[in-house]
Amino acid sequence: MNALLQWTTYVLIGYFVVLNGGYVFMSIITFWGVVRYRYVLDAYNPEEALASESLPSITLIAPTYNEESTCVASIRAFLNVDYPNFEVLVVNDGSTDATLERLRNTFKLQPTSRPPTSDLPTESIRQVYRSRTHPDLWVIDKENGGKADALNAGVNFCETSFFCAMDADTIVEREGLIRIVRPFLENTSTVAVGGIIRVANGCTIQSGRVQNVSMPQRLLSKLQVVEYLRAFFFGRLGWDTLGAMVIISGAFGMFRRETVVEVGGYETDSVTEDLELVLRMHRWLRERGEEYRVRFIPDPVAWTEVPSTLSGLGSQRDRWHRGMVDSMIRHQRMLLNPRYGRVGLLAYPFFYFLETFGVILEFLGYAWFVVALATGTLSAPIALAFFLVAFALGMALSLSAVAMEELSFHRYQKTSDLLQLLLLSILDNFGYRQLNAWWRIKGLWSYLRSKEEWGTIERTGFNTSNA
Amino acid sequence: MSELKEPILLALSHKPSANLLEDRLCRKGATVVRAPDGEQALQHIRDTSFGVVVAETGLPGRTGLELLQSVPPLQPPFVLMGRRGNDEDVIRAFDMNAFDYFTRPFAPNIVTTRILRVPRLLSTATERPVPALA
Amino acid sequence: MRPNLSSPFEVFSPASDLIATLILGSGALMLLSVCFAAFALGSHVWSRYQTRVWKRQKEDWDAQIVTVLAGDLRPQTLTDTVPKKYYGSFLEALMPYATVVDGAEKQIIQALAAPFLPRVKANLSSRRSLVRARAVQRLGLLGGPEQAAALRQMLDDSSPRVVERTVHSLARVGGAADAERLLDCLPRLAHVDPRHLSSSLVHLGEAAAPTMRAAMADDERPPFVRICCAETLRELRDTASVAAAAWLLEDAKFRDMLQFPKVTASLLRLLKHLGKGVHGPLIRAYCHAPASFVRLHAARALGQLGTPEDEVLLGALVYGDESRWVALGAARSLIEIGSITPLRKLRTLDHPRAALASDLLLSFDQ
Kind and range of the H or E run holding A140: strand A137-142
Residue B60: cis peptide before it, omega within 30 degrees of 0: no
Q: Does C50 touch chain A (CB under 8 A)?
A: no
Q: How do residues A253-302 score in pLDDT, each as one tens digit?
A: 999 999 999 999 999 999 899 999 999 999 999 999 999 999 999 999 99
B111 domain-assigned: yes
CA-atom Rg of chain C in angstroms: 31
* Overall domain count for chain B: 1
In this structure, how many other beta carbons lie within 10 angstroms of the beta carbon of residue A105? 11
Q: Test C29 with A114 for CB contact under 8 angstroms.
A: no
> Is some CB atom of chain A closer than 8 A to the CB atom of B53?
no
Query: Measured at the alpha carbon of residue A179, what is the angle toward residues A175 and A184, in degrees to the nearest 5?
Result: 150
Is the bond into B105 cis (omega within 30 degrees of 0)? yes
A80, pLDDT greater than 90: no
Instruction: Please report which confidence band the pLDDT of residue A338 belongs to, taking 50, 70 and 90 as the band edges.
Output: very high
Residues A381 and A370: their CA atoms lie apart, in Å, by: 13
Alpha-carbon span C162 to A235, nearest angstrom: 29
Per residue in A368-381, pLDDT (tens digit) is: 777 777 777 666 77
Q: Which residues contact A393 (CB under 8 A, 6 or more apart)?
A: A20, A23, A24, C29
User: What's the pLDDT score for residue B2?
Assistant: 44
Disruptive mutation site among A55, A416, A422 for chain C (greatest number of C CBs within 10 Å): A422
Domain of A315: which CATH number? 3.90.550.10
In a domain, B133, yes or no: no
A7 in a structural domain = no
Range of the domain at A160: 20-353
Q: How far apart are CA A207 and CA A463, in angstroms?
A: 9
Residues C224, C216: Cα–Cα separation, whole Å: 10
- Minimum Cα–Cα distance from C327: chain A residue: A117
Q: Dump pLDDT digits (tens) for C220-256.
A: 999 999 999 999 999 999 999 999 999 888 875 556 6
- Tell me which H or E stretch contains A256: strand A252-256
Q: State whether B58 and A82 contact (CB < 8 Å).
A: yes
B3 domain residue, yes or no: no
Measured in angstroms, the CA of A36 and the nearest CA of chain C are apart by: 8
pLDDT at A322 over 70: yes
Contacts of B60 in chain A (CB under 8 A): 80, 174, 207-209
Mutant choice from C55, C102, C141 vs B, greatest count of B C-beta within 10 A:
C102
Q: Is B92 domain-assigned?
A: yes
CB contact under 8 A, C70 and B27: yes
Q: CA-to-CA distance for A222 and A192, rounded, in angstroms?
A: 30
- B73 interfacial to chain A (CB closer than 8 Å): no
CA angle C344/C348/C349 to nearest 5° reads 115
Q: How far apart are CA C241 and CA B19, in angstroms?
A: 41
- Domain assignment present for residue B1? The answer is no
- CATH number, position B83: 3.40.50.2300
Q: For C69, which residue in chain B has the nearest alpha carbon?
A: B20
CA distance, residue B81 to nearest chain C CA (Å): 11
Partners of residue C130 in chain A, C-beta under 8 Å: 36, 39-40, 42-43
- The residues facing A254 across adjacent strands are A164, A193
Chosen from B14, B15, B19, B84 to mutate, greatest number of chain C CBs within 10 A: B19
pLDDT band at B31 (very low <50, low <70, confident <90, very high): very high
Q: What are phi and psi of A432, to 5 degrees?
A: -65, -45
Q: Of C37, C196, C360, which is closest to A185 when you measure between CB atoms?
A: C196
The predicted structure's pLDDT at residue B3: 52
Inter-residue contact A410 to C44 (CB < 8 Å): yes
One-letter amino acid for residue A5 of the chain: L
Which residues of C lie inside 8 Å of B (Cβ-Cβ)?
62-63, 66-67, 69-70, 96-97, 99-106
Whole-number Å distance between alpha carbons of A172 and A303: 6
List of residues 6+ apart from A123 with CB closer than 8 A: A94, A142, A143, A144, A145, A149, A153
Could you give the 3-state DSSP secondary structure of residue A27? helix
pLDDT tens string C111-149: 999 999 999 999 999 999 999 999 999 999 999 999 999
Which residues fall within 8 angstroms of residue A249, CB to CB, at 6 or more apart?
Answer: A194, A195, A197, A274
The DSSP-derived string for A91-125 is EEE--SSSHHHHHHHHHTEEEE----S-----SPE
- Would A291 be classed as within a structural domain? yes
For range B104-132, the mean pLDDT? 84
Within a domain: residue A310?
yes
Q: Is pLDDT larger for residue B2 or for residue C275? A: C275
d(CA A54, CA B83) in angstroms, rounded, equals 10
Residue A95 lies in a domain: yes
- The answer as to whether B101 is a domain residue is yes
H/E segment holding residue A142: strand A137-142
B6 touches chain A (CB under 8 A): no
The answer for C 14-33 residues in CB contact with A (under 8 A) is 15, 18-19, 22-23, 25-26, 29-30, 32-33
Residue C34 in this model has a pLDDT that exceeds 90: yes
pLDDT, residue A464, reads 33
Cβ-Cβ contacts under 8 Å, A58 against chain C: none
pLDDT digit string (tens) for B39-84?
Answer: 999 999 999 999 999 999 989 888 899 999 999 988 899 999 998 8
Run of H or E including A195: strand A190-199
Q: Please list, in sequence order, all residues whose beta carbon lies within 8 angstroms of the beta carbon of residue C340, skipping any fewer than 6 positions away.
A: C334, C361, C364
**CA distance to partner chain A, nearest, from residue B61 (Å):** 4
**So what's the pLDDT on residue A456?**
40
Place A465 in a pLDDT band, splitting at 50, 70 and 90: very low
Q: Which residues of B touch C (CB under 8 A)?
A: 14-17, 19-20, 23-24, 27, 104-110
Does A51 contact B104 at a Cβ distance shorter than 8 Å?
Answer: yes
The fraction of chain C above a pLDDT of 70, given in percent, is 94
Q: Is the pLDDT of residue A451 over 60?
A: no
Using one digit for the tens of pLDDT, what is the confidence trace for A130-179? 999 899 999 999 999 999 999 999 999 999 999 999 998 899 998 999 99
In a domain, A460, yes or no: no
Whether residues B85 and A53 touch (CB distance < 8 A) is answered with yes
User: Distance between CA A236 and CA A224 in Å, rounded?
Assistant: 16
Helix (H) or strand (E) holding A139: strand A137-142
Nearest by CB to residue A85, choosing from B60, B62, B86, is: B86
* Residue B60: domain span: 8-122
What does the pLDDT look like over A91-102, one tens digit per residue? 999 999 999 999
Strands B78-83 and B100-104: parallel
Q: A with C: how many residue pairs have Cβ under 8 Å apart? A: 170
Query: Do C99 and B105 lie within an 8 Å CB cutoff?
Result: yes
B51 assigned to some structural domain: yes
Give the phi and the psi of residue B128 in degrees, each rounded to 5. -70, 135
**Best of A85, A171, A177 to mutate (most B CBs within 10 Å, chain B):** A85
ipTM of the complex: 0.91
Split at pLDDT 50, 70, 90, the class of A458 is: very low
Buried-state track A5-17, b at ≥16 Cβ within 10 A, e below 16: bbebbeebeebbe
Is residue A454 pLDDT above 70, yes or no? Answer: no
The rounded mean pLDDT for chain A is 89
Q: Is residue A72 part of a domain?
A: yes
A-B interface: how many C-beta pairs under 8 angstroms? 53
- Report the chain A residue with the minimal C-alpha distance to residue B96: A133
Contact C70 B23 (CB under 8 A): yes
The answer to the question of residue A383 being in a domain is no
**Are B60 and A208 in contact (CB < 8 Å)?**
yes
Mean of pLDDT over chain C: 90
Instruction: Say yes or no to pLDDT of B104 above 50.
Output: yes
Smallest CA–CA distance, residue C277 to chain A, in Å, is 26
C26: part of which helix (H) or strand (E)?
Answer: helix C15-70
- Spell out which residues of chain B touch residue C93, defining contact as CB-CB under 8 Å: none
Q: Which chains touch B (3 or more CB pairs under 8 A)?
A: A, C
d(CA B70, CA B56): 15
Q: How confident is the model at residue A387 (pLDDT cuts 50, 70, 90)?
A: confident
Comparing alpha-carbon positions, the chain C residue that sits nearest to A398 is C33
Asked if C97 lies within 8 A of B20 by C-beta distance, the reply is yes
Q: What's the confidence (pLDDT) of residue C255?
A: 60
- For residue B52, tell me if it sits in a domain: yes
**CB contact at 8 A, A99 and A64:** yes
> Looking at A263-267, A448-452, B26-30, B65-69, which range is the least confident one?
A448-452
Give the minimum alpha-carbon distance from B4 to chain A in angstroms, rounded to a whole number. 30
Q: Does residue C57 surpass a pLDDT of 80? A: yes
Please confirm whether the linkage preceding C222 is cis (ω < 30° from 0): no
- pLDDT tens-digit map of C176-223: 999 999 999 999 999 999 999 999 999 999 999 999 999 999 989 999
Q: pLDDT over 90 for what percent of chain C?
A: 72
What average pLDDT does the segment C294-315 reach?
93
Q: Which residues of B touch A51 (CB under 8 A)?
A: 83-84, 104-105
Q: Give the pLDDT confidence score for residue C324 in this predicted structure.
A: 92
Q: pLDDT tens, C136-145?
A: 999 999 999 9
Distance CA A85, CA A104 (A): 23
Q: Which of A51, A112, A406 sits opposite C43 (nearest CB)?
A: A406
Residue B16 has pLDDT above 70, yes or no: yes
Tell me, what's the pLDDT at A70?
86
**Lowest mean pLDDT: which of A64-73, A356-365, C295-304?**
A356-365
In this predicted structure, what is the pLDDT of residue A323?
Answer: 92
Comparing CB atoms, the residue among B15, B23, B106 nearest residue C101 is B106
Residue A94 burial (CB count, 10 A) = 20
Asked if C331 and C360 touch (Cβ cutoff 8 Å), the reply is: yes
pLDDT at A463: 31
Q: How far apart are the C-alpha atoms of A284 and A330, rounded to whole Å?
A: 13
Q: Could you give the number of structural domains in chain A?
A: 1
What whole-number distance in Å separates Cα of residue C170 and Cα of residue C151? 6
Q: Is residue A206 situated within a structural domain?
A: yes
Cβ separation A81–B58 shorter than 8 A: yes
Nearest to C200 by CA among C240, C226, C228: C228
* C96/A contact by beta carbon, under 8 A: yes
Q: Print burial letters for C280-296: b (CB count within 10 Å at least 16), e (below 16).
A: bebbbebbebebbbbbb
The answer to whether C258 and C264 have CB atoms below 8 angstroms apart is: yes
Q: State the pLDDT at residue C15.
A: 64
